[in-house]
Structure 1
Amino acid sequence: MTQLDWMPAADHLDLLADPVAKALVPGLRVAEIDPGLSDTAAFCDRYGVALEDSANCVIVAGRRGGETRYAAVMVLATDRADVNGVIRKRLDVRKVSFAPQPEAVSLTGMEYGGITPLGLPESWPVLVDENVTSRSFLVIGSGLRRSKLAISGADLVAATGGETLVLTL
């Protein structure tokens, strides 16, 4: 399937960011990777993972009435999220954008390039594109750049309390 050595995540907590380790779900698998290859295209090319089996997590932020609203958005690596349409409306904000890198890292407790929806603040909605939910094998971040997680799209939604929407352009 891939050129990765998938291991039970519960047995390798050192490969998970602390918030992810605290949100561990049964059956989650982890694989160690070269941190220099954590970006999606380089990772998929090197480790033989199809782009459609890889999902990206982006943290978005929007403001309304002096309050900043955050959300995690999960889309397949082959797709682009409709940030200014569906996501903006779902958050009920005037404008939404990708959260700045230092802010995303600080608020999640995860490394940039490894952010995952597991272990995020409970008040943040996890918005999952419907294409993600249909995948039986999905590679996502682990909270660290030096590893990846394997999970099914359905298990991802269940583990995060995610909301399935049509999020892509």
Structure 2
Amino acid sequence: MGTEVQIREATHGDLDRVVELYDAICDYLDATFNYPGWTRGEYPARWTAERALANGELYVCADGKALLGTCILNGVQPEGYRDIPWQEGISPAEVLVVHTLAVHPSHLREGVSGHLLRFAEQYAQGHGKRSIRLDVYERNVPGVRLYERHGYHVAGKTDLHLGDNGPQISRCYEKIIDKGERLC
């Protein structure tokens, strides 16, 4: 990444590039080991980006003209989160959930995921959130390492009933946001 990385809310003009990124990462995962079990054209797909864009929840990470990564930020906790022993005393309104964090395959191992996670933490802090939650398929070793390296802690495990391949256990992670902490 030669120029400065910028993370911002996506615009309609970003939609095709986000879908291209989704397709590229799904193709890459199919050619290697598909840790998250994503399927091109099914998830993540155009509908994923369109819905998030319409709700003002889609964010992109760009370096110059290249779209490096993307994520969805909102307060929507999947049904399976009900069974997780999250940090006590945090209301649903105080939770930010990170969904569909994806990095273009040509920019893997360049720190893009870390930029997106730090942005999510700043966003949470700026919007009065006390907790960031996310889930990752437990066999997604790179994802597990990423979130643990960035200070997310396993709150529990659950089957989020995503797909038709039988139980797929996900680790549910949480990071508590200290309102006084300066995040950069």
TM-score (norm 2): 0.26
Where relative contact order (Cα < 8 A, 6+ residues apart) is larger, the structure is: 1
Which one has the largest radius of gyration?
2
TM-score (norm 1): 0.28
